[in-house]
Structure 1
């Protein structure tokens, strides 16, 4: 099993500020039954349908209904984290999502909600062993986990270079628990406006799952690169399909 502090491309650091370490080791991911039910009700039936003019979802048949899954979406807007459960969560697969989020998103009033809706913190620059072990434990329990592989929000219509952490993490879980069956599902968001406002259209495309075990060939670095490259290709294909559909629709309107 590879070292957890090498999962993300951050470089080794021998000394860590004790305050940061204390914050990051406070890893707690859970689903509040009443809060999650209320959120699904309000977001799925009121907020999202009213805010967006049209929500198009393609490929829901590709979502595994059991077993460890990593959803790997592009990240175009903060709305993504509300739309993703709407498109893939309890109402579709019967599953709640666990989100790997930045440590700042788990602070204060916002953090109170995030932690009770499946979110848990990670410092992408210096991830703690405790946090990464918690992530692997979630996969071991057969949870559906969300990791944004681009590492940030990008509001153009491009798929940006993926961070190597997602591939290394998935392979770590699979290699440390042979036969676990981790799958990565590429998901692509596209909005009709870079900054989604009232009446914006949104498209959510879901590709077939990638079986992580197919990439476990014994060399973690090369295996992770191949897995990450194939994930990036799948996301780009989803993005191209959206661009083609948009171009065709525009040409039909002009004619």
Structure 2
């Protein structure tokens, strides 16, 4: 799933918790199915991901906000990312369902049927419509959790690529149009032991501290968006570097 616009933690296995799941408010273009979501979460968390991957290491889950408007900003290394993010930050962990901003071609056919019913909504990545951006702001206004890949595409070289400015502009737009809303961006770094994940691939995921958008609302929005993008990039780079070190240490420990 793709992003729109051109532009000390405890390591553990993810374990389900008995949470009272927050209900999703259906708005035009995005809806989490009340019957399909529980089925797919159950299959993904207990069967698909544990059976496909080797070791799934996660740190920083305690930093995930369980209330309020949140944008999860993961690095994008494979299509598996969009299954792993709900696994580490979805209803079994935070009690919340996720809304993914996806490209138009991912909302077509059978795949599109599932994507739309799991909270995904389409955006023309080359010419994003104002209505799509308004929908994203509306989701944040409803204090929901949104997933946007700030690099804008899948990169398999293990390096952090320049972030698109869209995520910062969207977050600032939501916060400035609804003062006191309390939007936060959570950086997440994902690393696979193989560039093209196959059966038995190990995964390391590190969740960083939430960035408060209220800290970027003074002054000119263009300068604030640039500063926010730079700070998010630094956080993702720091998380990515720590994952590389952790992954090497893990690999050495099992050899």
- Pair in the same fold by TM > 0.5: yes
Contact 2:157 2:195 in 1 (8 A): yes
Distance 1:37 1:124 in 2: 30
Normalising by structure 1, we get a TM-score of 0.88
Alpha-carbon shift at residue 8 of structure 1 (Å):
4.0
Q: Give 5+ residue unaligned stretches, structure 1.
A: 1-6, 11-25
Structure 1 runs of 4+ with >6 Å offset: none
Alpha-carbon shift at residue 27 of structure 1 (Å):
5.3
Distance 1:248 1:83 in 2: 22
Q: Which structure carries more helix by proportion? A: 1
Query: Within the alignment, does 1:167 sit opposite 2:172 as a pair?
Result: no
Normalising by structure 2, we get a TM-score of 0.88
Distance 1:243 1:77 in 2: 17
Alpha-carbon shift at residue 156 of structure 1 (Å):
1.4
Q: 1:253/1:47 Cα in 2 relative to 1: closer, same or farther (>3 Å)?
A: closer
Alpha-carbon shift at residue 249 of structure 1 (Å):
4.0
What is the number of equivalent residue pairs in this alignment? 233
Q: 1:154/1:224 Cα in 2 relative to 1: closer, same or farther (>3 Å)?
A: same
Alpha-carbon shift at residue 45 of structure 1 (Å):
0.3
Which string of whole-angstrom CA distances, capped at 9 and with x for unpartnered residues, describes residues 154-203 of structure 1?
Answer: 01111110000000010000000000000000001100000000000001
Q: Give 5+ residue unaligned stretches, structure 2.
A: 8-26
**What value does the CA root-mean-square deviation take over the aligned residues?**
1.6
Q: 1:79/1:221 Cα in 2 relative to 1: closer, same or farther (>3 Å)?
A: same
Contact 1:63 1:93 in 2 (8 A): yes
Contact 2:72 2:185 in 1 (8 A): yes
Distance 2:63 2:159 in 1: 23
Higher Rg: 1
